[in-house]
Structure 1
Amino acid sequence: MASSGIIVFIFPVLCICAVKSGFVKVECKAENVGHYGQQSLLECVVKTSSDVNDPNIRMVAWKKLTSPEDEGDLVLGFKRGKLDEPKRGYRFAEPSWNGKNMNVSLLITNTAVADEGDYKCIVITDSGDDNMVTTLKVQAKYSVPTVYSIPEKIVPNTDSTLVCESHGGYPQGTIRWFDEEKHEWTASSKMEAKQSDDGLFQLTSRLSLLGGSTFSKYTCAVFNASGGKEDEKTFEMPPPPPSSLGGIVYDTPHMIVVMPAGTILLLTILFSNFSQSGIRENLNLNQPDPSPPPLHPQKCICNLCNH
């Protein structure tokens, strides 16, 4: 009989705790996006059932998790009506927060790459308790890219390399290359990503060009981790020399004709001779012949015979 009495006593206590906990629910935004160097908000509110009147929060604990099974590192806490000394850079989103305020959102005042990760919000009220995990994703915009060439002064018809650099971004992005006709040349390039102590990335891409490249412009574009283009920079190749044979370039609306110097000299001589010959012929046609007409001896003899 004694053992049966103990069973009856424990059962009602368990039921009361389960029902009481169901009166309170912590609701958080599943994923939050924060920007490097700015404020980030992890939104969480406490919801209570209609059976709960004038709820009072007894404890709040915000913990940063290193893994789902980890207990986490306390970054902000409230217990027994007092706010614990918060970890630097963390506070409640409501400036004058107290135990009557059901908005328990966490504010990170100066977001760093190290702040990215999962956070657990634990709430205990006089009507029950609950907890929820939310995630913070950190982003940082890449700088406007810079482009330069190796060698600094490109010699026509020789191999060269274009270098594009962009820094200060997060997460790791990519650099892509395009010519003036929007054809992509990224496959011909090599990119390197280095992460600094603050967690931000520096991207460097090298595009190798063979001598005699036919394009006058190449564009370096920086894309973030989501695939969105952030910025770009265009590099203009130096113009080719007029001619490697020392000739003259004739530019027409439809074509460019390059004539070697030897050919030009030969054509000039021929044209000069042709012009002088034509002038002489014109002069002969326009002037009368000064010599008298030839005599015909046979005709004269016949005339004398007749007389």
Structure 2
Amino acid sequence: MAVKIVLILLLFSVSLGNAKRVLDVECQSAVGVAGENTKIPCSFKLPLGYNDVTIYEAMIIKKGQKYPLLYINKPGNVVKGDPRVQPLYKTAPSLLFTNTTVSDEGEYEYRLQTSRGQIKDGKFRLSVTAEYHKPDIKSWPKVIKVGDRVVLYCNASGGYPAGGIHWFNSTGANWTERATLKIMKRDDKLLTMFSKLPLTVTDLSRKSFRCVVLNSSFSEVGETSFSSIGESWRTGSGEHQQPVLTSLSENTKDGGGAELCCNASSGHPVGTIHWFDSTGANWTERATLKIMEAGKNLLAMSSKLTLTSIDFRLEPFKCVVLNSSFSEVDEAKFDLPRTDALTKPTVVIAGVIVLVILGLVIIFLYLSVKNSEHQQLLRIRVLRTMRMPTSRTDPNLKNMGHV
């Protein structure tokens, strides 16, 4: 078979070499779509006086290949080569590639022997494109647990030529720099693009991510999204659970240090906790956030705020729970326990005790004064009694004076 093709090439070259070059053929390059038919428009450039042209032989050779893609000898009714390539000889020497494949892409030479002589070699290029299928996005692990290293995978297949995959979060920020892209060639020479985006659970608080597929012209051809489950921090009953704010320090004093802890449980997806004082100042930068599993695919958040120099005038401190959309869902307030000042209940009790003691003192003093006055009156009476003459009162003494 190979020997026959070589002989055909030799004979064709000899016949062309002996013929006079009087015609030119012009073919337009084309862009075909994989799986569809692609027409290569060709036409003769005829000198004046030349009208009808009959094609006797034709040969199409792809650059870089040893044997012709197609050879036609009309007088001998010989057609050899790829049956998908068909001549369109009714009005012009055009060609048709049926069921175009990526393998058809390349540069070609078109040689013709006609009734008007040999033509110069016509050249054309066939480019092939294929649109990528809608991308598919998955996560690993499939069930995301708090603290896991999460990876999102986006793949788009069946396209050509190579393009790219970009990543965006729910705010529109481009995360493509964090991703890696891998391109693989299939058996049909179409391509599959794989993009891997590593994330942390905190990154997932941005709620959703999109992977966008771009073709070789950097035009968007498809996209898909990955969304976290749920909309806010919720319990099984459908109501968000109020955060609990406690102090890790039993006693505090003005100017000293303390640690506050705010816990919010039974929510999904990951949110966050912010801290504020009574003036509205945000203390969140001084806090650390920890996320834990709470069972049934729910999460618990715990935030610890460290205070190095306490100013009791900033009380109460407030922790605010935000969902994955950064919307406030609940809050809790807290007054620090202190040792250098009495609390309000203690002050009230102490006041009552002081008043009672003061009342008792006043009563004691009053009674003491009254008792002193009574004793004084008794003394006065005694003295008055002692100063009175006894003769006026004792009849016996009166009789003794007359003896």
| TM-score (ref. length: structure 2) | 0.53
Aligned twin of 1:223: 214
Aligned twin of 1:281: none
Aligned twin of 2:36: 38
Please, which runs of 5 or more residues in structure 1 have no aligned partner?
Answer: 1-16, 267-272, 278-296, 298-307
Cα 1:81–1:50 change in 2 (3 A) is farther
Aligned twin of 1:75: 70
**Does the 8 Å CA contact 2:70/2:79 hold for their aligned counterparts?**
no
**Does the 8 Å CA contact 2:157/2:193 hold for their aligned counterparts?**
yes
Aligned twin of 2:79: 84
Query: SS at 1:183's partner residue?
Result: coil
**Does the 8 Å CA contact 2:138/2:153 hold for their aligned counterparts?**
yes
Aligned twin of 2:106: 117
1:246-288 CA deviation, whole Å, 9 max, x = no partner? x99778997455438xx59x9xxxxxx8xxx9xxxxxxxxxxx
Q: What percent of counterpart residues are identical? A: 27
Q: After the TM superposition, which residues 263-302 of structure 1 pair with which residues of structure 2 at under 5 Å, given as runs?
A: 263=334
Aligned twin of 1:21: 21
Cα 1:133–1:254 change in 2 (3 A) is closer
Read off the aligned partner of 2:92 and give its amino acid letter. Answer: N
Q: After the TM superposition, which residues 83-162 of structure 1 pair with which residues of structure 2 at under 5 Å, given as runs?
A: 83-92=78-87, 94=88, 97=89, 101-130=90-119, 131-156=121-146, 158-162=148-152
Aligned length: 248
State the structure with more CA Rg. Answer: 2
1:120-171 CA deviation, whole Å, 9 max, x = no partner? 1112223232221111111111111111111112234543111111111111
Q: Structure 1: how far apart are the matches of 2:56 and 2:159? A: 41
1:217-272 CA deviation, whole Å, 9 max, x = no partner? 11001111221211000111342246437x99778997455438xx59x9xxxxxx
1:60-119 CA deviation, whole Å, 9 max, x = no partner? 22222226xx6x523242343735245221112x3xx4xxx4411111111111111112
Read off the aligned partner of 2:26 and give its amino acid letter. Answer: E
Q: Structure 2: how far apart are the matches of 1:251 and 1:136? A: 57
| TM-score (ref. length: structure 1) | 0.68
Structure of higher RCO (CA pairs closer than 8 Å, 6+ residues apart): 1
Query: SS at 2:206's partner residue?
Result: coil
Please, which runs of 5 or more residues in structure 2 have no aligned partner?
Answer: 1-16, 230-268, 271-298, 304-317, 338-344, 350-369, 371-403
Q: Structure 2: how far apart are the matches of 1:87 and 1:180? A: 51
**Does the 8 Å CA contact 1:62/1:122 hold for their aligned counterparts?**
yes
**Does the 8 Å CA contact 2:57/2:114 hold for their aligned counterparts?**
yes
Q: Structure 1: how far apart are the matches of 2:211 and 2:106? A: 32
Query: SS at 2:177's partner residue?
Result: helix
Cα 1:254–1:153 change in 2 (3 A) is closer
Aligned twin of 1:259: 332
Q: CA RMSD in A?
A: 3.8
Query: SS at 1:187's partner residue?
Result: helix
Cα 1:119–1:19 change in 2 (3 A) is closer
Aligned twin of 1:172: 162
Q: Residue 193 in 1 paired to residue 197 in 2?
A: no
Cα 1:171–1:248 change in 2 (3 A) is same
